[in-house]
Chains A and B, each alone.
Chain A
Amino acid sequence: MIPDLGKYAFAVLASYGVGLGLLAVLVIASIARSRRVRAELEQIEERSKRPHG
């Protein structure tokens, strides 16, 4: 399945591993923070709508 990379296999596979790994971390971290902040804001807005006292 994997093409014959010869003596450069480490360089090529490590590049794809590092590159795709960093992209995955970036995407997952962005989505996770987006969800967390959205939930926090909803909570704060809910709280601020309630009558005081």
Chain B
Amino acid sequence: MSIWEYANPVKFIRTTDKVLPWISVGAVLCLVTGLVWGFFFTPDDFRQGSTVKIFYLHVPAAMMAINAWVMMLVASLVWIIRRHHVSALAARAAAPVGATFTIIALATGALWGQPMWGTWWAWDPRLTSFLVLFLFYLGYMALWAAIENDDTAADLTSILCLVGSVFAILSRYAVLFWNQGLHQGASLSLDKEENVADVFWYPALVCIAGFVLLFIALVFLRTQTEIRARRARALMARERQA
């Protein structure tokens, strides 16, 4: 069995139909467990007080905002190299999900920043690169919507996705590249010394799992929708020609 079998739209829909309910239930369970655990059953941080509870939404959303773009990049490359329509449609399907995660990261970051830094916004490297990433999401979605021919739209949005990947990488490593911003370095690390305390780490891990599963579920659902919408457009075009 090869992964390219799933480039067949019928096979993709049939397979994702089977796994979608399980992934959705997993996403809801992880999100509810992680957020309830984090909100109700974790202590305040000795420096940041109760604002540490924003961590459980802000960090998973920010991680997935970047990872969604990386997934779109891989799907775009598959489209450019192998011309599989499902991969281009999967990239299109992921964009609104990634954009929403980016807004959540920006909004919760502003709400967290105000009491901690004394400002809602600063032109800090990480914040600025995240804002640019959000603008790339908007541009990507607008480009898909603006071009009638699906293949041309897939070609141009794939190129835009390649360019935007620079900002997705910058968003992740901006703190390391320019060390003068307000934003702290990564809160999560495989190095136990640098990682957040276990009492915050475990619920955060469950929330991250929830965001990952939610992303997968939404991308599967939205890709199915894009495949059906594309078929509907093709049938209508055939009707008009008949």
Do the two shown chains form a genuine complex with each other? Answer: yes
For A11-35 the 0/1 string (1 means CB < 8 A from B) is: 1101110111011011100110110
A29 to B51, CA, bound (A): 30
Chain B: CB-nearest residue to A1: B40
**Closest CB pairs A-B (n = 10):** A19-B57, A5-B50, A15-B108, A15-B54, A34-B225, A41-B232, A26-B100, A15-B111, A8-B51, A41-B228
Contact partners of B100 in chain A: CB under 8 A: 22-23, 25-26
B115 in the interface (beta carbon within 8 A): yes
Interface string of B88-110 (1 = CB under 8 A from A): 00000000110010011001100
User: Are A41 and B231 neighbours in the complex by a CB distance under 8 Å?
Assistant: yes
Whether B108 lies near A19 (C-beta < 8 A) is: yes
Cβ-based interface call for B49 (8 A): yes
Number of interface residues of B (CB under 8 A): 38
B186 within 8 A of A: no
Given A34-B224, A40-B232, A48-B235, do A18 and B107 touch, yes or no (CB 8 Å)?
yes
A-B pairs with beta carbons under 8 Å apart, 24 shown: A5-B50, A5-B53, A7-B115, A11-B111, A12-B51, A14-B111, A15-B107, A15-B108, A19-B107, A22-B103, A26-B96, A30-B218, A30-B221, A30-B222, A31-B221, A33-B222, A34-B221, A34-B225, A37-B229, A40-B232, A41-B228, A41-B229, A41-B231, A41-B232
Residues of A near B225 (CB, < 8 A) are 30, 33-34, 37-38
Number of A-B pairs whose CB atoms are under 8 Å? 100
- Determine the chain A residues whose CB is within 8 A of the CB of B103 once the complex forms: 22
Partner pick for B50 among A6, A22, A25, A44, CB 8 A cutoff: A6
Given known A6-B49, A30-B222, A52-B242, contact A12–B54 (CB-CB < 8 A): yes
- Which residues does B use to contact A, with CB under 8 Å? 35, 39-40, 44, 49-51, 53-54, 57-58, 61, 96-97, 100, 103-104, 107-108, 111-112, 114-115, 214, 218, 221-222, 224-225, 228-229, 231-232, 235-236, 238-239, 242
User: Roughly how many angstroms separate A10 CA and B115 CA in the complex, as a whole number?
Assistant: 10
Bound complex: CA of A41 vs CA of B235, how far in Å?
Answer: 9
Q: Is the CB of A19 within 8 A of B239?
A: no
The answer to whether B228 and A11 touch across the interface, beta carbons within 8 angstroms, is no
Residue of B nearest to A35 (CB): B225
List the B side residues contacting A23 at CB < 8 Å.
Answer: 100, 104, 214
